[in-house]
Amino acid sequence: MAEPLLSVRGLRYRYPGGDPVLNDVTFEIACHERVALLGPNGAGKSTLILHLNGLLLGEGEVRVGGVAVTRQTLKEIRRRVGVVFQDPDDQLFCPTLEADVAFGPRNFGVSEEEIERRIASALELVGLSAQRKRPPFQLSFGERKRAALATVLSCQPDVLVLDEPSANLDPRNRRRLVNWLRSGPGTVLIATHDLDLALEATDRCILLAGGRVVASGPSERILRDKKLLEAHALELPLRLQGWEGSPCG
């Protein structure tokens, strides 16, 4: 069988002076999979995400395309794994949107001609082509969320990791996000409390609780298991609670 694109084996991590946050986390993600990472607050989702591109280095093994995440491979890993954080202002710091989108590829040594092509492509994908000359702080919150996504897409990562991508989005931008996730290329891992998003946009769910993987399987099966979800402080997606259609329209 082909090697998984992302492999996490026996990952353990504790912050200095604290209890273990991740405790023997193991899972794999194949090429072109769309996977939701679920769990209650404190489950370890954000800490896990920080291990996927080497922002944290714990015990165990994380491999991306066969390359182990180590201090020596950080530049290669960060080219392969793009993380979009929950707060877009963590990723937007240049005078113009196009400069932000160019920053990553330029840091990886991409030619200026190719950078221009990537700026145009990434901004078109997120619907911000007309905003490329504007300062990011002049954009609306929803536009900044999409701008942060563009800054990562321009790096053309093998794995795209999104931390709470639907948080604070209005219904229109949430629907745009769902449509993009359904049709976009590549491999995507979404850490989210939005179980309707997971149901609509992912193929598989990994449920994290107490720093461990407690369930993994097709999204339809995991998200219809009321007993499993309630045991880990989660509820059925709204559309499975008798609502007609998505509450976000």
Tell me the per-residue pLDDT of 35-55, one tens digit each, with 9 for 90 and over: 999 999 989 999 999 999 999
On whether residue 207 sits in a domain, the answer given is: yes
Q: What is the pLDDT of residue 180?
A: 84
- Point out which residues pair with 36 in neighbouring strands: 190, 205
Specify the pairing of strand 59-64 against strand 6-14.
Answer: antiparallel
* Position 21 pLDDT exceeds 90: yes
CA dist., res. 174 & res. 170, Å (int) = 6
CA dist., res. 220 & res. 9, Å (int) = 25
Distances in Å between the Cα of 7 and the Cα atoms of 13, 84, 104 are 16, 20, 24
On whether residue 246 sits in a domain, the answer given is: yes
Domain that holds residue 40: 1-65+177-249
pLDDT tens digit sequence for 103-119: 999 999 999 999 999 99
pLDDT tens digit sequence for 120-131: 999 998 889 999
On whether residue 142 sits in a domain, the answer given is: no
Q: What is the pLDDT of residue 179?
A: 87
Specify the pairing of strand 81-84 against strand 67-68.
Answer: unpaired
Q: What is the pLDDT of residue 167?
A: 85
* Position 192 pLDDT exceeds 80: yes
* Position 245 pLDDT exceeds 50: no
Provide the percentage of residues in the chain whose pLDDT is more than 90: 80
Model confidence at 205, pLDDT cuts 50, 70, 90, reads: very high
Q: What is the pLDDT of residue 169?
A: 83
| SS3 of residue 58 by DSSP | coil
* Position 246 pLDDT exceeds 70: no
On whether residue 125 sits in a domain, the answer given is: no
Question: Which two structure tokens, joined as six digits, stand for 221?
Answer: 């099966």
On whether residue 52 sits in a domain, the answer given is: yes
On whether residue 195 sits in a domain, the answer given is: yes
CB atoms near residue 93 (< 10 Å): 12
CB atoms near residue 238 (< 10 Å): 16
CB atoms near residue 127 (< 10 Å): 14
Phi, psi for 140 (deg, rounded to 5)? -70, 170
* Position 7 pLDDT exceeds 90: yes
- Counting every residue written for the chain, the total comes to 249
Which CATH number does the domain housing residue 225 bear?
3.40.50.300
pLDDT tens digit sequence for 209-233: 999 999 999 999 999 999 999 999 9
Mean pLDDT across the chain: 91
Cβ-Cβ contacts under 8 Å for 208 (sequence gap 6 or more): 25, 37, 38, 39, 43, 44, 45, 48, 214
Q: What is the pLDDT of residue 185?
A: 67
Mean pLDDT of 75-91: 93
Question: Which two structure tokens, joined as six digits, stand for 184?
Answer: 């976009």
Higher pLDDT, 170 or 15: 15
Q: What is the pLDDT of residue 51?
A: 97
Q: What is the pLDDT of residue 2?
A: 63
pLDDT tens digit sequence for 137-188: 999 988 999 999 999 999 999 999 999 998 888 888 888 888 888 887 689 9
For the chain, the domain total comes to: 1
On whether residue 116 sits in a domain, the answer given is: no
On whether residue 139 sits in a domain, the answer given is: no
